[in-house]
Amino acid sequence: MHDRPDMVLPETIRSIASRSGCKWGWRPDAIPQVIDAAEQAGLLNIGGQLQFRLPGATCECYWVEVDAVAQEPRGLRWTERVARAATVARQQFADIGNRYDFLSEGRDAFPAAFHAYEASGGNLGDCLWFIWYLKADRTRPTDIRSRVLGLIRAFRRHDRQQ
C-alpha cells in the first residue's frame, strides 16, 4: 500500500502538480482531471482548498474549499464512496469556480504579501494552486510491492503449515 495515495495517480497528473511537503497542488483548471484520475485509480477525493505559494510565504484561502466527504452517508462500500466523492467533488469545484474569483480572494485576504510580490515583478497566477487531498483504501494493496509482500507472507504461512 502506498502511504501516499497521490503516488498512485498517473505520471501525467503527478507531473503537473506542485508539491510542498506532503501537500500536492494543481492549477485549478487541472482539478477536474485530478478528480477523474483519482476515481479511476480507486482513490477517494477528499477535497481541498485554494492556496498561493509565494516565495517565502504560503497564503491559504481556506474558505475557498471543496469537502467531498462532509455529508457522506455511513455504510457505503469503498467503491460507492469513491464514486460519490468524485461526483460531489466535481460539483463543488464547479460551484466555487463560479462563486469566487480566485485571484481576487487572495488579493483581498493577503494584500501586503501580494502587493510586495507583484511589485517585485511576480505573477500571482504562477503562485495559484488548489491543494487536493486523496485517500486510498487501506484494506486493499494498490502497489506491486505490497502485493508481492502479501504473496510472500501467504507462502510462508503455507510452508509452516506443511
Structurally, the chain folds into a number of domains equal to 1
Per-residue pLDDT band at 94 (split at 50, 70, 90):
very high
Per-residue pLDDT band at 104 (split at 50, 70, 90):
very high
pTM here is 0.81
The chain-wide mean pLDDT, for the chain, equals 89
Q: Is the per-residue pLDDT at 111 higher than 90?
A: yes
What are the contacts of 103-110 at 24+ separation with CB within 8 A? 103/128, 105/50, 105/61, 105/64, 106/50, 106/52, 106/59, 106/61, 109/59, 109/61, 110/52, 110/57, 110/59
Domain that holds residue 97: 5-161
